[in-house]
Structure 1
Amino acid sequence: MAKFKVVHYINQFYAGIGGEEKADHMPEAIKGAVGPGLAFQAAFGEQAEIVATIVCGDSFYNENMEKARETILGMVKQCSPDLFVAGPAFNAGRYGVACGDIASSVQNSLGVKALSGMYLENPGVDLYKKSIYLIETKNSAVDMRNAIKKMVSLGLKLLKSEEILTPQEEGYLKRGFRKNYFADKRGSHRAIDMLIQKMKKDPFTTEFAMPTFDRVNPNPAIKDMSQTKIAIVTSGGIVPKGNPDHIESSSASKYGKYDISKFRDLTDQDHETAHGGYDPTFANLDSDRVIPVDVLRDMEKEGRIGELFNFFYATTGNGTSVANAKAFAAEIAKDLISNDVQAVILTST
Structure 2
Amino acid sequence: KQGAIDEILDLVAEHRSEIVIAGPAFSAGRYGLACGGVTLRARERLGVIAVTGMHVDNAATEVYRTRLHIASTQRTAAGMADGLAIMARLALKLVSGTALGAPADEGYVPTGRRIFEMAERPAPLRAVEMLLRKVRGEPYTTEWPVPRYHRVPAAPPLQDTAKATIALVTTGGLVPHGNPDRLESGFATKWLRYSIAGVDSLPPERWQSVHGGFNTSRINEDPHRVLPLDVARELEREGVIGRLHPEFYSTTGNTSVIPTMRRFAQEMGRELRAAGVDGVILTST
TM-score (norm 1): 0.51
SS at match of 1:312: strand
Q: Distance in 2 between matches of 1:36 and 1:321?
A: 34
Within the candidate set 237, 241, 244, 2:177 is matched to 241
* Equivalent residue letter for 1:90: G
Contact 2:90 2:106 in 1 (8 A): no
How far 1:91 sits from its partner (Å)? 6.9
In the alignment, structure 1 segments of 5+ residues that lack a partner are 1-13, 17-33, 44-88, 100-113, 139-145, 181-186, 195-205
| Cα distance change, pair 270–124 in 1 and its aligned pair in 2 (3 A) | farther
1:90 aligns with 2:36: yes
Give runs of aligned pairs for residues 72-221 of structure 1, distance below 5 A: 90=36, 120-122=61-63, 125=66, 134-136=69-71, 149-155=88-94, 159=98, 167=104, 170-174=106-110, 191=137, 211-221=147-157
Alignment size in residue pairs? 221
How far 1:334 sits from its partner (Å)? 0.2
Q: Distance in 2 between matches of 1:280 and 1:36?
A: 46
| Cα distance change, pair 154–243 in 1 and its aligned pair in 2 (3 A) | same
| Cα distance change, pair 312–39 in 1 and its aligned pair in 2 (3 A) | same
The aligned residue for residue 262 of structure 2 is 326
* Equivalent residue letter for 2:17: A
Q: Distance in 1 between matches of 2:170 and 2:103?
A: 40
Q: Distance in 2 between matches of 1:214 and 1:149?
A: 33
* Equivalent residue letter for 1:232: L
Q: CA RMSD in A?
A: 4.3
TM-score (norm 2): 0.61
The aligned residue for residue 194 of structure 2 is 258
* Equivalent residue letter for 1:40: E
| Cα distance change, pair 191–246 in 1 and its aligned pair in 2 (3 A) | same
Deviations, residues 100-121 of structure 1 (Å, cap 9, x unaligned): xxxxxxxxxxxxxx99879531
Give runs of aligned pairs for residues 293-308 of structure 1, distance below 5 A: 293-308=229-244
1:275 aligns with 2:216: no
Q: Distance in 1 between matches of 2:37 and 2:237?
A: 45
In the alignment, structure 2 segments of 5+ residues that lack a partner are 22-34, 54-59, 74-83, 121-125, 127-132
Q: Distance in 2 between matches of 1:152 and 1:278?
A: 36
Give runs of aligned pairs for residues 28-47 of structure 1, distance below 5 A: 38-40=16-18
Q: Distance in 1 between matches of 2:13 and 2:213?
A: 31
* Equivalent residue letter for 2:179: N
Deviates more, 1:326-335 or 1:217-226: 217-226
SS at match of 1:251: coil
| Cα distance change, pair 279–42 in 1 and its aligned pair in 2 (3 A) | closer
Higher strand proportion (structure 1 or 2): 1
Contact 1:150 1:171 in 2 (8 A): no
| Cα distance change, pair 207–221 in 1 and its aligned pair in 2 (3 A) | same
Contact 2:196 2:246 in 1 (8 A): yes
| Cα distance change, pair 348–38 in 1 and its aligned pair in 2 (3 A) | farther
* Equivalent residue letter for 1:121: E
| Cα distance change, pair 37–345 in 1 and its aligned pair in 2 (3 A) | farther
* Equivalent residue letter for 1:302: E
How far 1:274 sits from its partner (Å)? 2.1
Deviates more, 1:147-156 or 1:218-227: 147-156
Contact 1:231 1:309 in 2 (8 A): yes
Q: Distance in 2 between matches of 1:36 and 1:315?
A: 39
Give the fraction of aligned pairs with identical amino acids, expressed as a percent: 29
SS at match of 1:122: helix
How far 1:275 sits from its partner (Å)? 1.6
* Equivalent residue letter for 2:198: K
Contact 1:239 1:272 in 2 (8 A): yes
Contact 1:117 1:137 in 2 (8 A): no
How far 1:317 sits from its partner (Å)? 1.0
Within the candidate set 249, 257, 260, 1:313 is matched to 249
Deviations, residues 273-293 of structure 1 (Å, cap 9, x unaligned): 122222222222221110000
Contact 2:50 2:91 in 1 (8 A): no
The aligned residue for residue 292 of structure 1 is 228
